[in-house]
Structure 1
Amino acid sequence: MKKTLLVGALAGAFATMAHAQSSVTLYGLIDAGITYANNSGGHSLWQESNGAINSSRWGLRGAEDLGGGLKAIFTLENGFSIANGTLGQQGREFGRQAFVGLSSDQFGAVTLGRQYDDVVQYLGPLSLTGTQYGGTFFAHPFDNDNLDNTFRVNNSVHYQSANYAGFKLGAMYGFSNSTGFSNNREYSVGASYSFAGFNFAAAYLQLNSGVNSITAASPLNSGGAVTDSPFLAQRQRTWGAGLNYTFGPATAGFVFTQTRLTGAASISGGTIGNGTAVSLLAAPGVPGSMRFNNYEVNARYALTPALSLAAEYTYTDGRLNGLSPKWGTAGLLADYYLSKRTDVYLQGEYQHVMNTAGGTFNADLNTFKASSTSNQVAVTAGIRHRF
């Protein structure tokens, strides 16, 4: 009997130790609202919106203490629509993030799986799109720089340094998982530095498709590191830099990004007024080129601990086979926290297209059907809950 009690006590002690050294957290966010758009595909629109600021998601995050400052870590994050319950990210079970790796207090972390690129991880927090202060509808035209996380990187290995007195560095490589080393791959690098209220960041991203011709059946990185880019092109290069400064309850910032497409055919995520894809061909059957320069100024201010305001304006200068389309996109957000986990918000966006490239481009706020004119307005009243 004594032996049985001793074995039971030891088993309980080991279970307690294992539990103390490991943790798994269930977390999530639900964002829903009612949206009005003045012109979506040529008609006014009232709709229930999902993720006007942050896309709805739930996930599991875990860590196991291996000793000596080393941990095993993982994240599995699912995206879904609260409006109809369907999966996001092209129907993936864990389409937002899915990775596992090792983390060291001294040297940083190495992770493998489906992850965010370094433009998103380092430059994204300085922009209002893709963050809790502006989100989905504030994206730059066609989310050309991916700051709103239109795509993630499959088959990727990512290194994230430790925080060295405010400085952090990251690097990523996304494998094609097929023959042809340079085909369908991705790589990115990024860095950030924070000091005395200032935050600086810079990042670079490159996607290669490796195909000789572009068709609707062969999007950028089809079947490789990236499968959900909005562009049909042979190569995408995106780089950018930004800074912001926090003083008291206010933060003001500026972000610049440039995206260049070579061997480009179309923007699959964008449409013109009649619902067809935007063609980037230089001539029938001949891939063209596209360049976007995005200049974003943004600010946010906490009027009270519960009530905050945010605003941004982005000027986008485009180049398309000798044409020069330009976009002006503005966004405003008022956010009120009912509790630490629940807030309600009212936001509005306006986009105007100048030099429409011979009518190729109309206003096209992120996630909406394009306007039939050069202007588009959207207004959303919504609620977010975190758990």
Structure 2
Amino acid sequence: MKKSLLALAALGTFAGAAHAQSSVTLYGIIDAGIAYTNNTAGQHNYFMSSGNLQGSRWGLKGTEDLGGGLKAIFVLENGFNVFNGRLAQGGAEFGRQAYVGLSTAQYGTVTLGRQYDSVVDYTGALEVGSQWATFYGAHPGDLDNLNNSNRVNNSIKYTSAKYAGFSFGGLYSLGGNAGQFNRNQIWSLGVGYSQGPLVLGAGYLNVKDPNFSFFGNTPSSSATASNMAGSRVYSGFASAKTQQVISAGGAYTFGAATVCATYSNTQFKDVATEAGTGLNAAGYTGGSGKFHNAEINFKYQLTPALLVGAAYDYTKGYGLSNAKYHQGMLGVDYFLSKRTDVYVDGIYQHASGTDSTQRAAVANINGLSASSTSNQVAAIVGIRHKF
């Protein structure tokens, strides 16, 4: 009996040691709100909105200590709509993230799977739509992907360790088309700096055949028709051969206040090159649709529990579109605890010029159907809980 008890004790000690070297964590966010818009296709609308400050999700992440400072890591992250239980990201089971890789504190991390690009990693967090303004406050149509609307399939990614505040990384996605090496190819690079009150970041993204490889890489995507119809800001450029994004941003915190600014240049190059049903409905014969975007945002922590924010964003089209979009945002976020907060946000957008569809530009706040006029207002009140 004593020998059996000793054996069980030894086994328990070994199991505890093994457990200490590896772990799996279940985590998630549930974000739900009630929203209003004054004009979608000429009508005002009240509706329920899921995943506003952050996408509603649940996930599993794990690490295993392999010795010598080397770890195996993985993440499986599912997005969903809290109001109807449907899968987000076009019905992909782990559409937010799904990757596995190796990591060291000294040399960085290499991962393979469905992942975020470097524009998202190094400048996305500085955009107000990724902070307190909800995804409705993202840049029009999230044309530069700073709000992480699109992920990258079939990707290999490297993220460095931090060296004196600096970090860098890159991603490459194989297109997977036999005999067409560049087809659906995606690559990106980024660099960041974070030390004390100062944060800086810059990113570059290059996407071949964006209608299919970037906007259309989920189970519900079309293999022949447009996957870019969600926003008139760029829907007319679905036949572009390449999407290119250059982004940069910075933030500085002084006391309870933080000021952030971002700039991006987005280009849909060689329009009318990509073949597919309805991809060139605007009738282009060539050229590129290009956009400058500049944003400044401010937030102030009035109390440890109460944050207020204001932001302004300007988008200017050139090349095949001369549309202009002015967007203003105000928000309040109150933390009931470290894991639960309630928020109120308002967004106003004004459009002018001619948009990608070659029609008079109308306001088209990210995530909403286009207005019938040059103006559009959205407001939302919601609650977010993290676990």
User: What secondary structure sits across from 1:207 in the alignment?
Assistant: strand
The reply on whether 1:300 has 2:293 as its aligned counterpart is no
Query: In the alignment, which residue of structure 2 is the partner of 1:79?
Result: 79
Structure 1 distance, partners of 2:43, 2:14, is: 65
Output the amino acid matched with 1:351. Answer: Q
Q: 1:132, CA displacement in angstroms?
A: 3.4
Which structure features the higher share of strand residues?
1
Output the amino acid matched with 1:344. Answer: V
Aligned residues: 366
The reply on whether 1:345 has 2:343 as its aligned counterpart is yes
Query: In the alignment, which residue of structure 2 is the partner of 1:33?
Result: 33
Matches within 5 A, 1:86-97: 86-97=86-97
Output the amino acid matched with 1:382. Answer: G
Query: In the alignment, which residue of structure 1 is the partner of 2:253?
Result: 246
Instruction: Sort the Cα spacing of 1:153 and 1:220 in 2 relative to 1 into closer, same or farther, 3 A.
Output: closer
User: What secondary structure sits across from 2:212 in the alignment?
Assistant: coil
Tell me if the contact between 1:280 and 1:287 (Cα under 8 Å) persists in the aligned partners: no
Query: In the alignment, which residue of structure 1 is the partner of 2:372?
Result: 372
Instruction: Sort the Cα spacing of 1:372 and 1:307 in 2 relative to 1 into closer, same or farther, 3 A.
Output: same
Q: 1:281, CA displacement in angstroms?
A: 4.0
Q: Deviations over 1:13-37 (max 9, x none)?
A: 2211111111111111111111110
Tell me if the contact between 1:141 and 1:364 (Cα under 8 Å) persists in the aligned partners: yes
Q: Unmatched 5+ residue regions in structure 2?
A: 229-234
Query: In the alignment, which residue of structure 2 is the partner of 1:202?
Result: 202
| TM-score, length basis structure 1 | 0.89
Tell me if the contact between 2:90 and 2:218 (Cα under 8 Å) persists in the aligned partners: no
Q: 1:202, CA displacement in angstroms?
A: 0.6
Instruction: Sort the Cα spacing of 1:239 and 1:222 in 2 relative to 1 into closer, same or farther, 3 A.
Output: closer
Tell me if the contact between 1:175 and 1:224 (Cα under 8 Å) persists in the aligned partners: no
Q: 1:8, CA displacement in angstroms?
A: 2.4
Query: In the alignment, which residue of structure 2 is the partner of 1:330?
Result: 328
Structure 1 distance, partners of 2:209, 2:287, is: 15
Q: 1:55, CA displacement in angstroms?
A: 1.4
Output the amino acid matched with 2:250. Answer: L
Matches within 5 A, 1:1-387: 1-129=1-129, 131-179=130-178, 180-209=180-209, 219-220=212-213, 230=228, 232=238, 233-264=240-271, 281=282, 283=284, 286-321=285-320, 323-357=321-355, 359-387=359-387
Q: Deviations over 1:144-163 (max 9, x none)?
A: 10011111000101100001
Q: Unmatched 5+ residue regions in structure 1?
A: 211-217, 267-276
Q: 1:4, CA displacement in angstroms?
A: 3.4
Structure 2 distance, partners of 1:225, 1:259, is: 23
Q: 1:319, CA displacement in angstroms?
A: 1.8
Structure 2 distance, partners of 1:370, 1:110, is: 40
Structure 1 distance, partners of 2:259, 2:215, is: 38
Output the amino acid matched with 1:326. Answer: K
Runs of 4+ in 1 over 3 A off after TM superposition: 1-7, 218-231, 277-283, 356-360
Tell me if the contact between 1:220 and 1:234 (Cα under 8 Å) persists in the aligned partners: no
Output the amino acid matched with 2:198. Answer: F
Query: In the alignment, which residue of structure 1 is the partner of 2:232?
Result: none
Structure 2 distance, partners of 1:279, 1:360, is: 18
Instruction: Sort the Cα spacing of 1:342 and 1:196 in 2 relative to 1 into closer, same or farther, 3 A.
Output: closer
Q: 1:287, CA displacement in angstroms?
A: 4.8
Task: Report the more deviating stretch, 59-68 or 108-117.
Answer: 59-68
User: What secondary structure sits across from 1:64 in the alignment?
Assistant: strand
Output the amino acid matched with 1:244. Answer: A
| TM-score, length basis structure 2 | 0.89
